[in-house]
Structure 1
Amino acid sequence: MKKTVTFFGMLLSMLLMCPTGVWAAGSGETTTQVPVWLCIPFAGLLLCIAVMPLIKAEWWEAHQPHVVLMWILLMVIPFAVVYGTGKATETVLECIVNDYLTFIVLLFGLFCVSGNITMEGDFAGSPRVNVCLLAFGTLLSSCIGTTGASMLMVRPVIKMNSWRKRKSHIMIFFIFMVSNMGGCLTPIGDPPLLMGFMRGVPFFWSLHLLPVLLFNMVIMLFVFYHVDKLAYRKDIAQGRKPDISKPGTEFHIEGLHNIIFLVMIVAAVILSGVLPGLSAFQNAAGEVMGIHIFGEVTLTFPALIEIVMILLAAFLSFKTTDKSIRRRNHFTWGAIQEVAVLFIGIFITMQPALMLLKALGPHIGLSSPREMFWATGALSSFLDNTPTYLVFLTTAGTLGFLNGVTTSLGTVPVKLLSAISCGAVFMGANTYIGNAPNFMVKSISDENGVNMPSFFGYIGWSLVFLVPVFILDMLVFFM
């Protein structure tokens, strides 16, 4: 733990003092100095996301694209000065083509398909019903991904609790569990585990994390039940009652055929991880083939197949579903538009921060499970958890262990791999930007009248309810 604290203290000190730079690996052959001040646009964008809705909400809502573009330019232009126009262009295109494009297409596909499924009935949002919904959604996340489960479950949960005044805590715990923790059991569940699978971690290895997930579920659901029961009693005391005549007697799902399109999207994600390893998709040098864009940037054929399949699933979902279902779901494009705008800025401006992480990762001396758990998790709370996971998995693979899980990056002990995986998946719940579905759930909740906490307000909830659970995880599983 001391090494972890030292590492973050060192990183924070560098950011505050803004020295000339940190030596990082360039293209793999030479070393290139990464000026720490190039991280300022990323920090500035995060600060805008956190503060602007509090001080100028209407202006922020109208001018998000302009603010995002400003921070992108403030990163790209100095980056081009330091590294050259060609390197800057290649970095931005690499980020957009190989990271952001598949990310936003997946979100778009799941958003569209889930919006065409509606669950209705006489179930009212009581503490017991909500516990069951969260438990089901958490387990579902490992089957169709945290994003898929979040998009499928968020509207029914909001609808069943629409009669209540005090309900923001329900969506906060929804983000904690359904949008993050539940994705730890399979490579389908969360992108970091898919990257591990692509590098030799067995597909079903993640089931080793089941005891950790069950441990966390028991604690989180117990706490949630009592928090929700207190809020529920206050709502009832104020005369609020659900509009149902015969509780629990009717329940039906419309648009159920869209499950086919959800499966189609899940299949596309799995194929994106499997196809690159097949010789049919590799050239003579063993590189994955694709469409050359610029420099070393290539849109690979497996990624293109994934994109086409997901967009086709979204198109067929809309064509085969009556628009009345979307109307009952209060379906609008606002949430996906906001996520698309904000995350293009986040993905591009965080590139210097990722370069620093890749440079520092192998040299910070972290080797124990508890250190890897906190380091991976803390950085995954603000950076993309997929590259963060890969940095620490690579670091673990170079430590020279002889026993454990054999990957293409080296042999990693089971306990160490578990710590890295749990850190990346679980701690994405610490902030709204830690995992893509977090912000999507917040946006949909806001659209439907749920008064979600601010950026810093949400972090306060995670500090109170999540961090103590992570401390228990460390003591029980990663010491």
Structure 2
Amino acid sequence: MCIPFAGILLCIAVMPLVAPAWWERHQPIVVGIWSLLFLIPFAVVNGAGASVQSALECLVDDYLTFIVLLFGLFCVAGNITLEGDLAGSPRVNVALLLFGTMLSSLVGTTGASMLMVRPLLKMNAWRKRRRHIMVFFIFLISNIGGCLTPIGDPPLLMGFSRGVPFFWSLRLVPMLLLNVAVLLFLFYHVDMRAYRRDIAEGRKPDISGPGTQVHIRGLHNVVFLLMIVAAVILSGTLPNLPAMQDAQGQVLGLPIFGEVRLTLPAVIEIAIILLAALLSFKTTSVEVRRSNHFTWGAIQEVAVLFIGIFITMKPALMLLQAHGAELGITTPFQMFWATGALSSFLDNTPTYLVFLTTACAQGFTSGVNTTLGVVPVQMLEAISCGAVFMGANTYIGNAPNFMVKSISDENGIRMPSFFGYMLWSLGFLVPVFLLDSLIFFL
């Protein structure tokens, strides 16, 4: 039953290379076929009701809030534009990547990615060699930068809702600083080489005026961005309030089918995010979106592909939940790589939760107290870093990865293929992660 999950990943990797036009037109059909190839055998083995419930669990419990959050951030960030004559040079690009990386822990990796991707694309529009800029953008802003707060990345929010203190993840500052320093050093030299080749070919940025002038349009949308951040925080805190629980301690919600319910905190989160997106569009001039070359293509592609990923990865997660404790993973080094490797291809939030549960079940008596048990500090650091950092290893490791790729493609940058991107991550990220594991997790 894991074959459909492998099949949909293979299609994402191969079809854009062998039949790009056909793939773009028929993505929904392919996703539907692979989803049915899981759901029908699952229904034969477990019954039609169980199959329907499995699909609805994926859609209601995971996919709905996931896609609404992406949609809200995509809309609000699309109504903010950075204009001026700042040209994309290696120093400017390093500064923007550093700023975006720090921003990720404040507004989330998705929020920072959607906020920074278009300005960076604009500033480097004059350059021919740009794909490496967006690859490192995914590495840093879409993933690694989100490790310092529960707002930064969903796995940390999951830990927060299980009793991990809100500011505990600030302990990951040394890991973040090491990774950012190494990757920005490598990026600067890669970008400088490409920059010099562009200049040698006669390419020049279109800069006019006596000095550098930069201004932001649609800045009021920061208020709506903060609304979305508040909604995410509420989604992690409201389920623990007695007012949101029934007499049995279950979170209040709307029954959908069988045991599937849309929880009241999720309804509140969705309502706030959609309101923020609506107000953003109502209060921002259409000229801002035109300046951003705003289209719906990126969010549509993510919505279609990830619904299939969420449904077909169900058996893989079930296997992991059933047998994760039997894998013999007992050290921080092992936890870092096991959590990271699976987070590269599965959703990193349930993967984080599985290994957090596995660690808490080992009977430790000192460390961080959670609702699942006690987990040693170094073990929790390894699980957190593995889930957040290694989401950068593939395009599907974290949702903003694919959105940044789609927006870059729309703006004329020929991004690496699925496997091509993995070569970049193997060449640049894996050595850095090896350094992390040797310094922090041995």
Instruction: Judge same fold: TM > 0.5, yes or no.
Output: yes
- Matched AA of 2:92: V
1:331 to 279, 294, 307: 294
Partner of residue 421, structure 2: 458
Alignment of 1:84-99 (within 5 A): 84-99=47-62
Moved over 3 A (4+): none
- Matched AA of 2:296: W
Secondary structure of 1:252's partner? strand
- Matched AA of 2:94: V
For 1:269 and 1:94, locate their aligned partners in 2 and report how far apart those are by CA, in whole Å.
20
For 2:207 and 2:314, locate their aligned partners in 1 and report how far apart those are by CA, in whole Å.
51
Alignment of 1:147-296 (within 5 A): 147-246=110-209, 248-296=211-259
Partner of residue 16, structure 1: none
Partner of residue 348, structure 1: 311
TM-score normalised by the chain length of structure 2: 0.99
Partner of residue 341, structure 2: 378
For 2:340 and 2:74, locate their aligned partners in 1 and report how far apart those are by CA, in whole Å.
26
Does the 8 A contact of 1:368 with 1:416 survive in 2? yes
Alignment of 1:361-440 (within 5 A): 361-440=324-403
In angstroms, what is the RMSD of aligned CA positions? 0.6
Unaligned runs of 5+ in 1: 1-37
For 2:161 and 2:208, locate their aligned partners in 1 and report how far apart those are by CA, in whole Å.
52
Does the 8 A contact of 1:123 with 1:248 survive in 2? no
1:248 to partner: Cα distance = 5.0
Distance 1:93 1:130, change over 3 A: same
1:475 to partner: Cα distance = 0.5
For 2:175 and 2:426, locate their aligned partners in 1 and report how far apart those are by CA, in whole Å.
19
For 2:312 and 2:371, locate their aligned partners in 1 and report how far apart those are by CA, in whole Å.
30
Secondary structure of 1:382's partner? coil
For 1:249 and 1:174, locate their aligned partners in 2 and report how far apart those are by CA, in whole Å.
24
For 2:76 and 2:33, locate their aligned partners in 1 and report how far apart those are by CA, in whole Å.
33
Partner of residue 5, structure 1: none
For 1:246 and 1:212, locate their aligned partners in 2 and report how far apart those are by CA, in whole Å.
42
Secondary structure of 1:120's partner? strand
For 2:296 and 2:45, locate their aligned partners in 1 and report how far apart those are by CA, in whole Å.
39
Partner of residue 70, structure 1: 33
For 2:287 and 2:208, locate their aligned partners in 1 and report how far apart those are by CA, in whole Å.
24
Alignment of 1:97-176 (within 5 A): 97-176=60-139
Partner of residue 430, structure 2: 467
Does the 8 A contact of 1:124 with 1:247 survive in 2? no
For 1:82 and 1:142, locate their aligned partners in 2 and report how far apart those are by CA, in whole Å.
43
Secondary structure of 2:82's partner? strand
For 1:418 and 1:163, locate their aligned partners in 2 and report how far apart those are by CA, in whole Å.
41
Partner of residue 43, structure 2: 80
1:315 to partner: Cα distance = 0.3
Secondary structure of 2:396's partner? coil
For 2:63 and 2:335, locate their aligned partners in 1 and report how far apart those are by CA, in whole Å.
26
Deviations, residues 271-298 of structure 1 (Å, cap 9, x unaligned): 0001000011000000000101111111
For 1:277 and 1:266, locate their aligned partners in 2 and report how far apart those are by CA, in whole Å.
18
For 1:245 and 1:251, locate their aligned partners in 2 and report how far apart those are by CA, in whole Å.
12
Deviations, residues 35-78 of structure 1 (Å, cap 9, x unaligned): xxx00000000000000000000000000000000001101000
Q: Does 1:442 align with 2:380?
A: no
For 1:172 and 1:127, locate their aligned partners in 2 and report how far apart those are by CA, in whole Å.
15
TM-score normalised by the chain length of structure 1: 0.92
Secondary structure of 2:94's partner? helix
For 2:367 and 2:217, locate their aligned partners in 1 and report how far apart those are by CA, in whole Å.
47
Secondary structure of 1:400's partner? coil
Does the 8 A contact of 1:121 with 1:248 survive in 2? no
> How many residues get paired?
442
For 1:360 and 1:248, locate their aligned partners in 2 and report how far apart those are by CA, in whole Å.
62
For 1:354 and 1:296, locate their aligned partners in 2 and report how far apart those are by CA, in whole Å.
19
Distance 1:244 1:306, change over 3 A: same
Does the 8 A contact of 1:123 with 1:247 survive in 2? no
1:249 to partner: Cα distance = 2.2
Which range moves more in the overlay, 143-152 or 80-89? 80-89
Alignment of 1:293-304 (within 5 A): 293-304=256-267
1:365 to partner: Cα distance = 1.1
For 2:299 and 2:85, locate their aligned partners in 1 and report how far apart those are by CA, in whole Å.
29
1:247 to partner: Cα distance = 7.0
For 1:360 and 1:441, locate their aligned partners in 2 and report how far apart those are by CA, in whole Å.
34
For 2:330 and 2:108, locate their aligned partners in 1 and report how far apart those are by CA, in whole Å.
29
1:246 to partner: Cα distance = 3.7
Secondary structure of 2:2's partner? helix
- Matched AA of 1:129: V
Deviations, residues 81-104 of structure 1 (Å, cap 9, x unaligned): 111111111111011001000000
Which range moves more in the overlay, 50-59 or 245-254? 245-254
